[in-house]
Amino acid sequence: MKTVFQKPEAMTDAQLHYCPGCTHGIIHRLVAEAIDALGIREQTIGIASVGCSVFAYDYFNCDMQQAAHGRAPAVATGIKRVLPEDRIVFTYQGDGDLASIGMAEIVHAAARGENITVIFINNAIYGMTSGQMAPTTLIGQVTATSPRGRSASETGHPIRICELLATLEGPAYLARVSSHTPRHILQAGRAIKKAFEMQQQKKGFALVEVLSTCSVNWGMTPVNAMKWLEENMIPYYPLGVYKDITAEEDE
């Protein structure tokens, strides 16, 4: 029997440009499925950032706005505040974008408790610009700018964004998920949907960090990249919910 995979309505027909083994495409689909499931496509505005996912505006079938590198949370804040309350605003940002050049924007948007949804793709490297070290690059990880492996004494330690933002009062929902197995992808889909629901319910700032692969710049086959993520990224970036004010409300 032939299985037919239906494209979510919240994705356009444009062919994705991502490299083999990259999970941006999977995560795009999860975001689109959440938008469809909640029936919010007509009122959703996405903010594309700078990085490999710069063309997200071609792939999501909702209103899209491009932001300068790292500035997506600031642009999302403005759009969310000026438009009627039923509009759903999300950003889609890589780790170079969010945790390096955009660190100030994300921390302050979270501290203000902006009622926006952030999808944060952590692939531990700058993908688009061909593999420089990111703030999330692991100790010992080889990149174009750390050819002998990242050293803590030279460039410090990788930043755990969920844990860092969880120290703030502002966020309503913070979760880290992964995209390397079908089971993890299903979990990631549930977290992403929840992050949109939080905004619908006006609960405040919601961020889902999705661990992702960059097999080309990691110099691995797609299969080995999935294994590397499991064995190296998850121990340093544990999966789980770091904040959920609705769970606290339920207690």
Ligand X SMILES: Cc1ncc(C[n+]2csc(CCOP(=O)(O)OP(=O)(O)O)c2C)c(N)n1
* Interface residue list for ligand X (CB under 6 A): 50-53, 69, 94-97, 101, 121, 123, 125-129, 134
Give the pairing type, strands 63-66 and 44-48: parallel
* Gap between the Cα atoms of 233 and 189, Å rounded: 19
Unique residue bearing structure tokens 């950003």: 91
The DSSP symbol for 47 reads E
Question: Least CB distance from residue 132 to ligand X, whole Å?
Answer: 7
Q: Minimum Å distance from CB 67 to ligand X?
A: 11
Ranked by CB distance to ligand X, the top (closest) residue is: 94
Q: Are strands 88-94 and 44-48 parallel, antiparallel or unpaired?
A: parallel
Least separation, in Å, of the C-beta of 131 and ligand X? 9
Contact 113, 171 (CB under 8 A): yes
Residues 6+ positions from 134 with CB-CB distance below 8 Å: 94, 95, 96, 99, 100, 123, 124, 125, 126, 143
119 with 92: CB under 8 angstroms? yes
Residue 83 to residue 5: CA distance in whole angstroms: 35
Minimum distance of ligand X from residue 53's CB (angstroms): 5
**51 or 158: whose CB is closer to ligand X?**
51
Residue 64 or 101 with smaller CB distance to ligand X: 101
* Cβ closest to ligand X, residue 52 vs residue 75: 52
Q: Which is nearer to ligand X, 8 or 70 (CB)?
A: 70
Q: CB of 161: closest distance to ligand X in angstroms? A: 12
Taking the least distance from each CB to ligand X, the nearer of 9 and 236 is: 236
